[in-house]
Amino acid sequence: MRVTLTDAARSVLAALANERRQALRINGELVGGCGMTVEYGLFWDEPMSGDRVLEEEGITLLVDKETETYVGAEELVIDYREQQGFRLVTPQEILAYGLQVKERWG
């Protein structure tokens, strides 16, 4: 899976990343009952075994295999909009919007 950042997302993440030494994890987690909804999040983390580690113009991104499966696309774009926060977008759909970068998952 290829992950790209829009200029707006890169600018905001670069400012946030300057304050830390951790990478940005893109996380998808199955939640809910029979609806099988995937909840996505962005948070600061350290690489773990099995992670795909990607570099995007000085910003380190982490994606685990489970999240890649949930995304289900070869390309993921991280966008930022002032009124919406971060968005995760594939060529087929908007996976999540209104995301903020958290200190940790949860």
Asked if 3 and 56 count as a contact pair (C-beta separation under 8 A), the reply is yes
Specify the amino acid at residue 27.
Answer: N
Side-by-side strand order, sheet with 2-5: 2-5, 75-81, 85-89, 94-99
Beta strands in 6-99 (DSSP E): 23-31, 37-45, 52-56, 59-63, 75-81, 85-89, 94-99
What's the pLDDT score for residue 32?
A: 76
Give the pair of three-digit tokens for residue 41. 């999040």
What's the pLDDT score for residue 86?
A: 99
Pairwise CA distance, residues 102 & 105, whole Å:
7
Confidence of residue 105 (pLDDT cuts 50, 70, 90): low
Asked if 75 and 2 count as a contact pair (C-beta separation under 8 A), the reply is yes
Domain ranges of the chain: 2-102
pLDDT in tens, 12-67: 999 888 666 789 999 999 987 777 799 999 999 999 999 999 999 889 999 999 99
Looking at the whole model, is its pTM more than 0.95? Answer: no
pLDDT in tens, 89-104: 999 999 999 999 998 7
What's the pLDDT score for residue 36?
A: 79
The top-level CATH class assigned to 2-102 is mainly beta
Tokens 């899976």 correspond to what residue?
1
